[in-house]
């Protein structure tokens, strides 16, 4: 009882702190631009760390550690793909998006996608974009609530329904009050908490095994498949595994909730500084969770759900107060992604679908509606967090990524070209997701993106 009380107290304090941030920033939301992109005046620390945190949902702390726990060394390709994709997005995409959105006074990614298209045809692109965002994010956000439900249920034995509803209420409270600024500030705080977790947990896990040398000795006697960079695949299957894991990085070119961070930055100097901070954060968190899963493989043998390795390790080696902080880190990973995605969905409905003259009050009500839909999906259609996140990630990356690349490359495109490309990427992502898995899921993660990009390249005006 004492242990549970300490964990609950830590978590409750943390949640009230997040709501307080939302309350304290509420008066800074005067315009729609303030509510959805923070007035385009955020500095490098908030821009970079909030970007990183909003990227790293439950699938980072729970999914990456879980897949490393069960599949071993070969999952390093996934980590490399993620870090490489993030870096290329900051290096190539960020400066161009910043310049275009500033010059044309845009505040959403669908507006960027539809830029340069005749006014009477632009609505079609905005409708397609909004549908893809709302559809994909509904499942993506649902996976965050499911992760929160798992965390609270696993720790306190709460009913899954209660756990998911509690998480939804807290996110709505500070997003409703503070909008993008509150989301960015809370994401930054949560980002630092996740980085702390990704440093301390692998260190303590390896220490509990007896130190680095004992960890290496255990690794030496592990199964060949666990130690293999190819997961014991041969021939074309090896290429499929590597391409599939690296292909996750392609999604960074088309995630609206991440690309919006480039829009909200104060200036170009902020972008350059943010790129460095984000790279450091990504390396710490993703490699840290990968190492944690590897160490957990030798610590825990009776785990039915590999995505619970994080909770099992924290429960075995940490004091209840630290467990409360680590649980808060998981909730942070979930909230920092869900809140950003919720705002993007709201902006798609409010701004992209022609309600830009609506008041901030209407925007806040739409935010609540998005949360309600996602909570219902989490309760009624449960699914593995890792699988659901990567489905939504691939669907949006294949839909928006190629068009974003085309825009920053100044390709001349008609409304039909853009619409066709987005539909090809989106539909193929769904079709390949429903088909039997290929090795490394390379067909699902890579083919829709490049077919969509090829469509634009072939159809562009010379």
Beta bridge partners of 461: 412
Question: Tokens standing for 70?
Answer: 């069960």
How far is the C-alpha of 447 from the C-alpha of 438, rounded, in Å? Answer: 12
How far is the C-alpha of 286 from the C-alpha of 284, rounded, in Å? Answer: 6
pTM for this entry = 0.82
Query: In this structure, are residues 194 and 332 in contact, taking their beta carbons and an 8 Å threshold?
Result: yes
Q: DSSP readout, 364-413?
A: HHHHHHHHHHHHHHHHHS---HHHHHHHHHHHHHHHHHHHHHHHHTT-B-
Tens of pLDDT along the chain (462 residues) come to 455 666 667 667 766 776 676 666 555 545 555 555 545 667 788 888 888 877 776 678 888 999 999 999 999 999 999 999 999 999 999 999 999 888 888 877 888 888 878 777 888 888 898 889 888 878 777 877 777 777 777 666 667 777 778 777 777 765 655 555 666 777 787 788 888 889 999 999 999 999 999 999 999 999 999 999 988 877 788 888 889 889 989 999 999 888 888 887 888 888 899 999 999 999 999 999 999 999 999 998 878 778 788 888 888 888 777 777 777 666 666 665 666 677 667 666 666 666 555 555 666 677 677 778 878 887 777 666 667 777 888 999 999 999 999 999 989 888 899 999 999 999 999 998 888 776 667 888 899 999 999 999 998 876
Q: Which of 37, 311, 83, 336 is nearest to 191 (CA)?
A: 336
Q: Secondary structure of 92-113 in the HEC alphabet?
A: HHHHHHHHHHHHHCCCCHHHHH
Q: How far apart are the first and last CA of the chain?
A: 70
Query: In this structure, are residues 104 and 273 in contact, taking their beta carbons and an 8 Å threshold?
Result: no
Domains of the chain: 2-385 (1.20.1730.10)
φ/ψ of 461, rounded to 5, equals: -80, 135
Q: How deeply is 77 buried, as exposed, middle or buried, from its count of CB atoms within 10 A (0-12, 13-18, 19+)?
A: buried
DSSP letter assigned to residue 461? B
How far is the C-alpha of 449 from the C-alpha of 166, rounded, in Å? Answer: 36
Give me the pLDDT at residue 91, please: 92
How far is the C-alpha of 179 from the C-alpha of 32, rounded, in Å? Answer: 10
Q: DSSP readout, 217-232?
A: HHHHTS-HHHH-TTTT
The overall longest dimension of the chain from CA atoms, in Å, is 70
Query: In this structure, are residues 74 and 300 in contact, taking their beta carbons and an 8 Å threshold?
Result: no
How far is the C-alpha of 127 from the C-alpha of 150, rounded, in Å? Answer: 34
């Amino acid at each position: 009882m004492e242990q549970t009380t300490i964990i609950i107290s830590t978590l409750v304090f943390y949640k009230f702190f997040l709501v307080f941030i939302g309350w304290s920033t509420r008066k800074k939301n005067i315009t729609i631009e303030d509510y959805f992109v923070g007035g385009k005046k955020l500095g490098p620390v908030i821009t970079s760390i909030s970007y990183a945190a909003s990227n790293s949902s439950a699938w980072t702390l729970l999914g990456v550690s879980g897949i490393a726990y069960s599949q071993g060394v070969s999952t390093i390709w996934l980590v490399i793909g993620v870090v490489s994709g993030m870096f290329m997005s900051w290096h190539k995409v960020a400066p161009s998006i910043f310049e275009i959105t500033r010059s044309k006074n845009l505040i959403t990614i669908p507006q960027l996608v539809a830029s340069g298209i005749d006014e009477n045809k632009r609505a079609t692109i905005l409708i397609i974009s909004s549908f893809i965002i709302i559809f994909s994010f509904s499942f993506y956000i649902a996976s965050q609530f499911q992760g929160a439900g798992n965390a609270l249920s696993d720790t306190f034995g709460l009913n899954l329904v209660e756990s998911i509803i509690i998480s939804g209420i807290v996110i709505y409270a500070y997003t409703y009050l503070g909008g993008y600024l509150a989301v960015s500030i809370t994401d930054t705080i949560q980002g630092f908490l996740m980085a702390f977790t990704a440093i301390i947990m692998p260190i303590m896990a390896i220490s509990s095994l007896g130190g680095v040398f004992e960890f290496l000795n255990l690794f030496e006697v592990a199964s060949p498949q666990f130690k293999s960079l190819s997961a014991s695949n041969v021939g074309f299957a090896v290429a499929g595994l590597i391409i599939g894991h690296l292909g996750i990085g392609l999604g960074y070119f088309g995630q609206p909730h991440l690309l919006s961070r480039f829009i909200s930055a104060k200036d170009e100097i902020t972008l350059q500084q943010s790129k460095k901070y984000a790279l450091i954060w990504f390396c710490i968190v993703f490699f840290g969770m990968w190492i944690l899963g590897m160490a957990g493989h030798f610590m825990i043998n009776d785990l039915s759900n590999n995505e619970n390795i994080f909770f099992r390790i924290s429960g075995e080696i940490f004091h209840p107060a630290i467990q409360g902080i680590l649980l808060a880190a998981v909730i942070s990973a979930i909230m920092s992604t869900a809140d950003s995605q919720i705002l993007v969905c709201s902006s798609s409905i409010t701004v992209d679908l022609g309600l830009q003259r609506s008041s901030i009050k209407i925007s806040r009500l739409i935010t609540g509606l998005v949360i309600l839909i996602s909570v219902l999906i989490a309760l009624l259609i449960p699914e593995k967090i890792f699988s659901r996140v990567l489905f939504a990630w691939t669907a949006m990356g294949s839909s928006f990524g190629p068009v974003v690349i085309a825009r920053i490359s100044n390709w001349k495109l008609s409304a039909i070209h853009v619409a066709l490309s987005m539909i090809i990427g989106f539909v193929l992502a769904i079709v390949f997701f429903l088909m039997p898995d290929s090795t490394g899921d390379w067909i699902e993660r890579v083919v829709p993106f490049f077919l969509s990009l090829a469509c634009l390249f072939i159809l562009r005006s010379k």
